[in-house]
Amino acid sequence: MSKPVVAIVGATGAVGVEFLQLLAERDFPLAELRLLASPRSAGKTMKFKGTELKVEALTAEAFRGVDIALFSAGGGISREYAAVAVRHGAVVVDNSSAFRMDADVPLVIPEVNPEAVKTHKGIIANPNCSTIIAITPLWPIHQLNPVKRLIAATYQAASGAGAAGMAELEESTRAYLAGGTHEPKVFPHPYAFNLFSHNTKIDPANGYNEEELKMVKETRKIFGDASIRISSTCIRVPVLRAHAIALDVEFERPITPDEVRRILSKAPGVRVVDDPAMNYFPMPKDASGQGDILAGRIRTDISDPSGRSIALFVAGDQLLKGAALNAVQIAELL
């Protein structure tokens, strides 16, 4: 693994493009890089460190000799090809939801549970983007004062639906400003100057959609605590990239905003952006294009007289720390 052969599955997608850039920027020690995508993308070229690499069609044979396979092509592709890659000797870092809740698959955020990488049996799962952005700042606090209850409201960017989602936001905005109309194709509702509930299936038994339940289940798995009470509301907003999340967190013991700021100021992968005087707090525009999760609006929840609850607001780049960067960090651990 000191100089592995790496394959990117879904290389031409939004996350695939970020994989390519991150491997170059972080000077990842490669013996070879293979770009894999659908047959319609085969033959295209993509730039990597000043050279042109040809995209190959995704096949079982393409994994021969691969040491690490970074998957970001959807759950269906992961379910079809991840086991194939493992049989060829690769360790799969999967960005889909296909294996996250599998008991034999570690669900890893390097700043939170890097030791879990050692337990893999060929596949390591990248958590959902909203889960990563929400709980990475909570982990260092949780270690000192355990989280007992978490209420989250997400403001999720178009990048969560990939390049097609981002294109739809741009096209619908242009049409709206020109006084025209745009028929949505990626999303179920018009996106320009609108927001709507995350477009995943709703469980009729409890009223929560799949995105919301992912945050519940994944947080408990990563923190190793099934007793944490969690509720989430996930909303699509007309922002190109970078998710924002409002968090209300109840801890085991009383805690102050100053304690939270002090802990987060030393937390890896987190940057405190908390300036009440200037009304400057985490924003998608500042979170986009960089790897830190921004945390601010840190204040006592005045609805809890016990002093154990804190409200805060976080933002993180969905394509980077919420997807590609987290996966590349896992590959670096390997």
113 by DSSP, 3-state: which? coil
Percent of the chain with pLDDT over 90: 99
Tell me which of 120, 129, 142, 234 is the catalytic residue.
Answer: 129
CA dist 168 and 10 (Å) reads 20
Residue 214, pLDDT > 90, answer yes
Helix axes 14-25, 325-333, angle to 10 degrees: 50
Was domain 132-318 assigned CATH 1.20.120.330? no
CA dist 34 and 42 (Å) reads 12
Amino acid identity of residue 10, one-letter, is G
Whether residue 12 contacts residue 20, with contact meaning beta carbons closer than 8 Å, is answered with no
**Which pLDDT band holds residue 205 (cuts at 50, 70, 90)?**
very high
pLDDT in tens, 224-264: 999 999 999 999 999 999 999 999 999 999 999 999 999 99
Q: What is the mean pLDDT of residues 34-42?
A: 95
- Please, what is the average pLDDT of the chain? 97
CA dist 90 and 103 (Å) reads 20
Q: What is the mean pLDDT of residues 110-130?
A: 98
**Annotated catalytic, 189?**
no
Report domain extents, the chain: 5-127+323-333, 132-318
CA dist 214 and 130 (Å) reads 9
Percent of the chain with pLDDT over 70: 100
CA dist 323 and 301 (Å) reads 30
* Listed residue (245, 25, 248, 78) closest to 147, CA to CA: 248
Residue 172, pLDDT > 90, answer yes
CA dist 181 and 112 (Å) reads 45
Residue 1, pLDDT > 90, answer no
User: What is the pLDDT at residue 212?
Assistant: 98
**Annotated catalytic, 182?**
no
The pairing of strands 5-9 and 32-37 is: parallel
Q: What is the mean pLDDT of residues 169-195?
A: 96
Superfamily of domain 5-127+323-333: NAD(P)-binding Rossmann-like Domain (3.40.50.720)
Tell me which of 120, 142, 198, 243 is the catalytic residue.
Answer: 243
User: Cα torsion at 318, 321, 324, 325 (round to 10°)?
Assistant: 160
* Inter-CA distances, 284 with 172, 265, 292, Å: 20, 20, 12
Q: What is the mean pLDDT of residues 28-32?
A: 96
Whether residue 129 contacts residue 243, with contact meaning beta carbons closer than 8 Å, is answered with yes
Residue 3, pLDDT > 80, answer yes
User: What is the pLDDT at residue 2?
Assistant: 81
Report the sign of the C-alpha dihedral through residues 236, 242, 248, 250, in that order.
positive
